[in-house]
């Protein structure tokens, strides 16, 4: 497994930022292609879940796109992406754990509500109780 610190850290220069602004999506797509595997693998190592890692990768690049103009000229894109990936992956892991806990509680509730039907046990008692009612009361209960 490769350590995150051993990856060469290219610098974003003012011209790269300006290029992303000037050329728009085409330049940003190049950044995404350049770093998407690193972001995905960082997320995958953190989450051990390919689908969540894909979601995290998309989220990180959305955040990068939103913050591109505010990044410092000397920021390391790779460093920023790895930090952002760790943060987003940790939040995704927390949300996934919460979702799993909610599903387990729902399953427990479902198991409780699917216990043997009590009507089988209650119906004979209700029938016997109806017999002891006055005819007028019996009609109200049966209707």
**Helix, strand, coil share (%) of the chain residues, nearest 5:** 80, 0, 20
User: Among residues 74, 75, 86, 92, which one has the least CA distance to residue 38?
Assistant: 86
User: Among residues 83, 77, 89, which one has the least CA distance to residue 8?
Assistant: 77
For residues 43, 47, 52, 58, the Cα torsion angle rounded to the nearest 10 degrees is -20
Residuewise pLDDT in 10s, the chain (143 residues) = 444 444 454 554 545 566 676 677 888 898 899 899 999 999 999 999 999 999 999 999 999 988 887 876 667 788 889 999 999 999 999 999 999 888 888 888 777 665 566 666 667 777 777 777 777 777 777 65
Full-model pTM: 0.65
Residue 2 pLDDT: 45
- Residue 105 to residue 110: CA distance in whole angstroms: 9
Q: Which two tokens stand for residue 58?
A: 């998309």
Residue 4 pLDDT: 46
Residue 90 pLDDT: 97
Residue 50 pLDDT: 97
- Determine contact, residues 12/35, Cβ cutoff 8 Å: no
Q: Is 38 exposed, middle or buried (0-12, 13-18, 19+ CB in 10 A)?
A: middle
The number of C-alpha atoms within 13 Å of 34 and in the hemisphere containing its C-beta is: 15
- Determine contact, residues 4/14, Cβ cutoff 8 Å: no
């Amino acid at each position: 497994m490769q350590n995150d610190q051993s990856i060469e850290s290219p610098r974003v220069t003012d011209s790269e930022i300006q290029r992303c602004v000037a050329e728009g999506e085409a330049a940003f797509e190049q950044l995404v292609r350049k770093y998407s595997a690193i972001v995905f693998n960082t997320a995958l190592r953190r989450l051990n879940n390919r689908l969540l890692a894909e979601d995290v990768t998309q989220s990180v690049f959305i955040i990068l796109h939103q913050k591109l103009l505010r990044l410092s000229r000397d920021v390391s894109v790779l460093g920023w992406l790895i930090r952002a990936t760790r943060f987003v992956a940790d939040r995704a892991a927390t949300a996934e754990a919460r979702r799993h806990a909610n599903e387990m509680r729902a399953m427990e509730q479902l198991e409780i509500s699917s216990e043997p039907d009590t009507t089988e046990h209650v119906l004979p008692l209700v029938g016997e109780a109806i017999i002891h009612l006055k005819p007028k009361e019996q009609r109200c209960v049966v209707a």
